[in-house]
Each structure stands twice: as structure tokens, then as C-alpha cells.
Amino acid sequence: MKKAGIIMIIGSLLLLGLFKFPLWNIMLGAPQYPEPLGMNIHLNGIEGVKEFDLQNIDGLNHYIGMKTIPKAEEMWEFAIFPKVVLGMILLGVLIGILAFAGKISYKFFLGWFLLMSVLGVLGMYDFNNWLTEYGSDLDPHAILKISNPDGSPMTYKPPLFGHQKLLNFDVTSLPHIGGYLMFVGMSLTLVAFWLGKKASLKKLTP
Amino acid sequence: MKKIFKTVTGFLAIALVFTSCNNGESKSKSALSSNAAEKVYVAPGEHDEFYAFVSGGFSGQLAVYGLPSGRLFKVIPVFSQDPEKAYGYNEETKPMLNTSHGFIPWDDSHHPDISQTAGELDGRWVFINGNNTPRIAKIDLTTFETTEIIEIPNSAGNHSSSFVTENTEYVVAGTRFSVPVPQKDMPIKEYKGNFKGALSFISVDPKDGGMSIKFQLMMPGFNYDLSHPGRGKSHGWFFFTTYNTEEANSLLEVNASQNDKDFIAAINWKKIEEYVNNGGGTKMPTNYAHNVYSDETHTATSTMIKEVLTVNPLDVPGAVYFLPTPKSPHGCDVDPTGEYIVGNGKLSANLTVHSFTKMEEAIKNKKFDGEAYGIPILKFEDVLAGSVVQPGLGPLHTEFDGKGNAYTTFFISSEVVKWKLGTWEVIDRKPTYYSVGHLMIPGGNSRKPFGKYVLAMNKITKDRYLPTGPEVTQSAQLYDITGDKMELLLDFPTIGEPHYAAGCPASLIEGNSKKLYKLEDNKHPYAATSDAATKVTRNGNEVHIQMAMIRSHFTPDNIEGVKVGDKVFFHVTNLEQDYDVPHGIAMLGANTSELLIMPGQTETFVWEPKEVGVWPFYCTDFCSALHQEMQGYVRVSPASSTIPLSWTLGEDF
């Protein structure tokens, strides 16, 4: 059970990576951009991969009437997400310590994992909503107004995950280091749960 | 009749022989050239291995090519105005072409040389000389722009220039013509003994490359043709070829070709530097321009300097010697070890090579063969390392591959000859097409040449390309020199006269090439670094428009309140911060060139409207899908008009 507690603590602490590394990354390449433009989505805001990338993405997007990429203070998510994640880290560490001391059951690990998963899914849902709005809430005076073959106006929502072709751009959206650390951390809490369960079964059998 | 028949069949037979002969030849030729083609083929999207900076000679510019492909990337304006880039036309770069004789829109650019550290290319700057109105320019290899030009006083025909010492301590500029110093009204016939030849040592700031004339050595009135620095063991010395030691002032082709031997002047610049640092030399009143371009203000300033430090060689004993060298030597080339000094005696049957070690020995033993104007002359036999016997006609220049071989151009016999240092034997010779001047091996003027290619630069091409009327292109030819025998790979046309070149591995330069200028660093006094900062102001009859440009509009693009008789300054800032997105601007009726403005840069042109009306301006560089929409108008009212200045963008929406 001690081992499981330690792994639970480590797993939770890996989420700290989100405060240093981006959660997600979207890259935009085109014939004129052999070195693609890119944005890194951090817990507390969006940054360009290279110094002037955000400015240049906005510059290109003005042709199709997209809004500029929001500043950190323009989205409540960037204020709330860091607090939620920090809270979950503290909670996870606390559960780990208590389990290590034998005060609580391994089942709390699963509880933490399920709570984090629910929050994660909500976060993704929110992120996807933003992408949809960002890609389809277009200026009616846009320079370029392009229709789909069926006549509906074309929208420019970047993919939530994976690759998509948007006009001349190849858009790829994937987790970044912070995101991967979070996934590993969350998986470790499952490992902790499994170890805890094994240990308690052992205790029961003899 | 029979006879005629016989003759006709005879002709036919001969024709057949010739045809089949031709077929055979063209077959073998194409087999060869397919091999050569592979060696110079750089696939689309791939990069060349070397940069070649090829001077434009009488074009006054410097062209940037890739090797081995021979593709032209950029023509860097240096000494001549360039309307394509507004160099010398916009208000910011006009001061670059200022001299003590006023604004000069042209010069003759000859010998590029790349800066060095510890005797090896460092890829920071290229220096190049303007021949006609003596100047040295520096090109920054992060921006590939001319950032400094210094005029050389007391000099005339700045030809034995602009070669750098092995840590770029100095870039050296020697005079071709000797002239009265200071200039004065005197009979030309009194040249002999009265004219001087100034050799200028220009110090280079190791941090920013800033140039200033450290001293001028006032040599006897010969013609100083070319020069090269010592390196390795001969570091601290500089060698200059001389001709017209006869000091003729007319019909030089005959009168300056009489002496059996002219000289290579060996200058111990370290000794003179020490003398000068200890307060030696004579300050002389003069007047020359020093022009510096700033990447922050995007503007050049021209300063007139009124004094130069001169040194009489006789005041620094042991600093200057003459090495007798046959028949009007042209190129003066030092091998990578610094031991051999090649004097390319252009009217001599043999190529003369001096030994630095033997020179030092002769100086130590004071084995002199008289003197010229008080400067000791060493004995020819005492300093001679060896001669390449009858290698060709009209040797001009030699470079080295770093593997013990030298390559010399022969102007008259139109060929490049490969020979071995030390044994002086000729190894190979290949024709050039035609009349080759300089040749270049990347790093050839350093301790570490990159002996893969030699580039020969030809003055005459005649039938080598499609004809273009009486004036046809000059050209460069690339040879593979990795084998025992040289192999001609490629001919390519060049701008102006490809006088000389400097080559450098791309890896030393490409990573430092700037992509844009940062707007936040823009310190131009009239920059508008955001739309909010754009404005139009009047000061008497001067109107200053501080305009911004970004894909795909100008801010402002409608301007009213300008009057006939106004002097309108368009200060235009490119707000882009994206690689390779320049914008241009041109105004109907402006007596100047367009502007071509890089991201983050501000440039200015002046327009003096002469007629009332509504006059358009537009973007001249195809910048974006809506480039054709990137345009605007200026309303010009009569001089008496009271319409106030106004400026707007996009009020229709």
C-alpha cells in the first residue's frame, strides 16, 4: 500500500508539468509556410511557437474574417484552469499521503482518477466549443467568403485532435509535453489503484 | 560533266566524313556533360554548398551566387544606385554614396574579401573596393546589405584593395595611380619623383566591423596593382605588386614596360602599427567621407573626416623592402602556409615565386641590391623560391587548394594552369572561354582553402551564349579540382564584369541570415510602428506622411490637403513581422525610384507634386492575394488652397 501511495503522489505531481509545458499544440503549414506557424495552448494562455506566429496567424485569418486569437484575460478558462489543476494536484498528493499512512482506502485513487477524467472531458468539451466558435464566428465583411459544395458557408474550425486540411493550410492538432505528462500522471494513479487493490487482496487471502 | 560529277561525289564523301565525325564528337561530349551536369545539379528546394560573392566590376555591385549551381540569389547594391531596391534613391541610403566630391551614383567594384579569424573565413562581412573614387565598402552577411563605406583620401584608382589580414585587423587599400599628395596644380610631366603612392591600412573593429583609417604609408610614385596579406609565419606583413616603376606619365603600355623587373613591396605593418601606436606619423589635413548605415534607424549618416595620419616609410627602418619581380607583376598571392609569395609577372615568360623565409634571411644579412627612394631592394636570387617555367602567356592571378597545388590564370593564352608548390611543375591546364582574369577557390585567400572548385572569371564570351547584340555577357566557369586533372563543369553568365570573387561554405553564413527587422527595435525618427502611430504633419511646405503597410493595405490610403509646391516625404513602415513579406510603394510622377521595404523597416521617398489632381500610389511587390487592392490616393490642391490635411483608411465601411 505504501508503494501505491508513492505512485499516487508521483502521478499527481506530474500534472505540475502543465504549469511549465503546453497542454496542446496546433501547427499550420502551407506552401508559403514551409516552416509552419504554430500555437501552443498553455493552461494560462495561448503562445506562438515562434516569436511572431500568433500575429501572423491573425494576419492571415483576417482574410477569412476570423477573430484574433484570444489573449489570456479574454477567456475565463485561462484564469480557472490553473486553479482547478492545482487543486487536483493537492488533492492527489493528499490522498497519496493518507493512503501511504494507511488512513484511507486505495479506492480514493480511482475516485481521484474519475474526477480528473470528468474534469478533463469537460475541459476538452469546452476547448472544442471554443475551436468551433473561433472557426465559424466569421466577420460578415470578410475579404474571402467561401462556400462548401452544398452552398453552406465554409468554416475553419481546427481539428481537436489530428490533421485537417483548411484551404491551403495543413492543420495538425496534438497534445504537447504538458498534456503527455498529464496523461502519464493520470495513468500512474490507475497503476496506484491497481497496486493498492492487489496489496489489499493479498492482505485478505492469508 | 564527268569531272563535275566526280567533284560532287568528292564533296559528298567529305561531307559524310565530317558529319559522322561530328556525331562521334557530340556523343562523347554529351556523355561527359551528363557527368558534369550531375556535379552541378542542385535539386529544386535544395541548397548550394557554397556562397560565391562575385563583384560586378563596372556595375559597381556585388552579386551572390550559389556554387556549384551558378544560380544568382541577389545583387547587393554597393557603389551604384539601384532603383530596384531604392539604394541611393531613398532618403535613408543617399548618404551611403556621399564622398568628398559630393554624391556619386556609380563606381567600379573589384575585389571582395571575406573577414577572417585566426586565418580562416568567419563569414561575418565582405569587404569590397570602389576603384574610381577610392572607397572601401563593408557588407554585413547577416542582412546582405552594404552597411559602411569609407572614402580613401590621397588615393586614385583604388585597385590593390580590399584584402584583409588574418584576424581582420586591417582591410588594406592601395592606390593604383600615384598622384600629388596633397593634390595640387602642377605639370603632369613633373610626375617622376614628385607623385606619391598611398597604401592605406583601415582598422576594423572586431565587434561591429566599424572601419577607420589607421595610417597611410606614403610610398614612391609607382603603380600599386594588387596585394595580399602574409599569413601563418608571414602574418604581420603585407605584399603589394608594383608596375610602372619607370614612373611614366604617358603611353604606359610602352613606357611602363621597359624595366626588366618591377617590385613586390613587402610591408611589415606590425612594425608600422607599433610606430604609430607610439605616436609616430604625421597628421595631414584632408577631407573624406565615412558613411555608416544603422539597422536600427534604417538610415545612413555621412561624416566628413578632416585629417589622416601619414607615415613616411623611411621613418620606420626595417618596415619596407622591395622584392625584384619580373615584368609588371599583376596578382600578388600568398599560399596558405604564408611561405610563398607569387608574383604573376603579366609580361613575363615565367611565374616568379618568392620565399618568405629567404626574404627574412636576406633582410637579416642585409643583402641589399641598392635602394629605390631610400627603400632597400633585396637581391632577386636571394629571395627567389623558384619559377614555374613557361606555364602560359600573361599570368594574372593565383589561388591555392590547400593541398600543395596552385592554380594560375593566363589572360592571353586563356587558360587555367595547375602547378605544384615547391617543385614548380605544371600538372594540368584547361582552356577558359575566354580571356580569364581572376579565379577563386572558396577560402583561397586564407590558411584554409576549401579546394573543391575553382571559379574562373572571363572578360570575353563571344560565341559562348545566345547573342544579345554587340554587348554580350561576361561569364564565370566552374571547374572541379578534386582530381589530378581539372574538369570543366559549368559556364554561367554574370552581372557586369565578374572581376573577382570570394567564396565561403554556406554553413558559415546561412544560419546567421536575418529573416526580418524587429519592429520593436525600429528607431527611425519617422517610423509608424502601428496603425495608431500613422499621421500626416505639415512644416511649412514640407509634408511628412508617416505611413504603415501590411497585407494588404496602406494606413492611411486617402490623404488630402497636399498642395502644389509642397515637398511630400513618404516615410513608410512595413508592419509585417513575417519572413519574406516585403512591400513596395511607388507614386505616380515622383522623380525617384520605388521603395522596397523589408518587414520591420522604414524607408522614405520624396514627391514634389507639380499638378493639381488626385494621384495614385500602389504596392509594387506582389505581396499577397490582394496585392492589386493595395493602393491609395493623394489629393493635390492649388498652392492657395485652404483644405486642411486629413488622412483616412477604410471609411466606406
Give the CATH number, domain containing residue B70.
2.130.10.10
Give the mutation candidate from B514, B578, B598 for the A interface (greatest A CB count, under 10 A): B578
> Can you state the percent helix, strand and coil of chain B, rounding each to 5?
15, 45, 40
Report the distance separating Cα B256 and Cα B576, nearest Å: 58
Distance from CA of B530 to the nearest CA of A (A): 13
Find the range with the poorest average confidence among A31-40, B250-259, B436-445, B472-481.
B250-259
Interface of A with B (CB under 8 A): 35, 51-52, 55-56, 59, 63, 141, 143
pLDDT, tens digit, for every residue of A90-108? 999 999 999 999 899 999 9
Report the distance separating Cα B335 and Cα B398, nearest Å: 9
> Residue B6 has what pLDDT?
52
> Residue B23 has what pLDDT?
43
Distance from CA of B527 to the nearest CA of A (A): 19
pLDDT at B24 over 90: no
The stretch A150-169 carries a mean pLDDT of 91
Give the mutation candidate from B553, B579, B598 for the A interface (greatest A CB count, under 10 A): B579
Sheet holding B453-458, edge to edge: B436-440, B453-458, B475-480, B487-493
The stretch B206-234 carries a mean pLDDT of 97
Whether B40 is in a domain gets the answer no
Cβ separation B551–A52 shorter than 8 A: no
Q: Contact at 8 Å (CB) between B636 and B614?
A: yes
B550 part of contact set with chain A, CB < 8 Å: yes
pLDDT, tens digit, for every residue of B457-466? 999 999 999 9
pLDDT at B652 over 60: no
Q: Contact at 8 Å (CB) between B308 and B288?
A: yes
pLDDT, tens digit, for every residue of B247-280? 999 999 998 888 899 999 999 999 999 999 999 9
> Residue B221 has what pLDDT?
96
Whether B479 is in a domain gets the answer yes
Distance from CA of A52 to the nearest CA of B (A): 6
Whether B8 is in a domain gets the answer no
Phi, psi of B538 (to 5 degrees): -115, 140
pLDDT at B28 over 70: no
Report the distance separating Cα B4 and Cα B471, nearest Å: 45
- Residue B577 is nearest to which of A56, A63, A141, comparing CB atoms? A56
Count other C-beta atoms under 10 Å from residue A204's C-beta: 7
Q: Which three cell numbers stand for residue B416?
A: 587555367
> Is B19 strand, coil or helix?
helix
Domain boundary among B447, B482, B512: B512
Report the distance separating Cα B562 and Cα B541, nearest Å: 9
B650 part of contact set with chain A, CB < 8 Å: no
Q: Give the DSSP letter of residue A77.
A: H
Task: Give me the sign of the Cα torsion angle B529, B532, B533, B534.
Answer: positive
Cβ separation A59–B576 shorter than 8 A: yes
Domain span including residue B283: 50-512
Task: Give me the sign of the Cα torsion angle B176, B181, B182, B184.
Answer: negative
- Residue B551 is nearest to which of A35, A51, A59, comparing CB atoms? A59
pLDDT at B553 over 90: yes
pLDDT, tens digit, for every residue of B367-404? 999 999 999 999 999 999 999 999 999 999 999 999 99
Residues of chain A with Cβ-Cβ distance to B625 below 8 Å are 63
Residues of chain B with Cβ-Cβ distance to A59 below 8 Å are 550-551, 576, 578
Q: Contact at 8 Å (CB) between B408 and B397?
A: yes
CA dihedral A156, A160, A164, A169 (to 10 degrees): 50
Helix orientation angle between A2-13 and A77-100, rounded to the nearest 10 degrees? 170
Whether B19 is in a domain gets the answer no
Phi, psi of A84 (to 5 degrees): -60, -50
The stretch B198-217 carries a mean pLDDT of 98
Nearest CA in chain B to A33: B579
> Residue B349 has what pLDDT?
84
Phi, psi of A133 (to 5 degrees): -65, -45
The two most distant CA atoms of chain B are separated, in Å, by 100
B578 part of contact set with chain A, CB < 8 Å: yes
Strand partners, B338: none
Do B436 and B579 lie in a common domain? Answer: no
Nearest CA in chain A to B629: A143
> Residue B20 has what pLDDT?
42
Counting one residue from A and one from B, how many pairs have CB atoms under 8 Å apart? Answer: 16
Do B487 and B564 lie in a common domain? Answer: no
Do B508 and B371 lie in a common domain? Answer: yes
Q: Contact at 8 Å (CB) between B266 and B239?
A: yes
> Residue B651 has what pLDDT?
72
Nearest CA in chain B to A60: B551
pLDDT, tens digit, for every residue of A53-78? 999 999 999 999 999 999 999 999 99
Do B102 and B126 lie in a common domain? Answer: yes
Res. B347 pLDDT band, cuts 50 70 90: confident
> Residue B18 has what pLDDT?
43
Report the distance separating Cα B253 and Cα B399, nearest Å: 27
The domain tally of chain B equals 2
| Chain B from 28 to 47: CB within 8 A of any A CB | none
The stretch B506-515 carries a mean pLDDT of 98
Distance from CA of B139 to the nearest CA of A (A): 27
pLDDT at B653 over 80: no
Q: Is B158 left (phi over 0), alpha (psi -120 to 50) or beta?
A: beta
Q: Give the DSSP letter of residue A63.
A: G
pLDDT at A135 over 80: yes
Nearest CA in chain A to B600: A52
Long-range contacts of B474-477 (CB under 8 A, 24+ apart): B474/B57, B474/B498, B475/B433, B476/B52, B476/B54, B476/B65, B476/B70, B476/B501, B477/B432, B477/B433, B477/B436
Do B552 and B587 lie in a common domain? Answer: yes
Say what the ipTM of the complex is. 0.87
Do B422 and B437 lie in a common domain? Answer: yes
Helix orientation angle between A77-100 and A177-204, rounded to the nearest 10 degrees? 30
pLDDT, tens digit, for every residue of B39-98? 999 999 999 999 999 999 999 999 999 999 999 999 999 999 999 999 999 999 999 999
Nearest CA in chain B to A55: B577
pLDDT, tens digit, for every residue of A80-91? 999 999 999 999
Q: Mean pLDDT score of chain B, rounded to an integer?
A: 94
CA angle B522, B525, B529 (to 5 degrees): 45
The stretch B356-361 carries a mean pLDDT of 98
Cβ separation A52–B626 shorter than 8 A: no
pLDDT at B2 over 80: no
CATH number at residue B588: 2.60.40.420
Q: Is B333 left (phi over 0), alpha (psi -120 to 50) or beta?
A: beta
Do B277 and B397 lie in a common domain? Answer: yes
SS (H, E, C) B500-524: CEEEEEHHHCHHHCCCCCCHHHCCC
Strand partners, B595: B585
Res. B22 pLDDT band, cuts 50 70 90: very low
Do B480 and B591 lie in a common domain? Answer: no
pLDDT, tens digit, for every residue of B123-166? 999 999 999 999 999 999 999 999 999 999 999 999 999 999 99
pLDDT at A206 over 70: no
B542 part of contact set with chain A, CB < 8 Å: no
Q: Which residues contact B13 (CB under 8 A, 6 or more apart)?
A: none
Domain boundary among B512, B531, B559: B512
- Residue A52 is nearest to which of B577, B626, B653, comparing CB atoms? B577
The two most distant CA atoms of chain A are separated, in Å, by 76
Residues of chain A with Cβ-Cβ distance to B551 below 8 Å are 59
> Residue B141 has what pLDDT?
98
Do B434 and B583 lie in a common domain? Answer: no
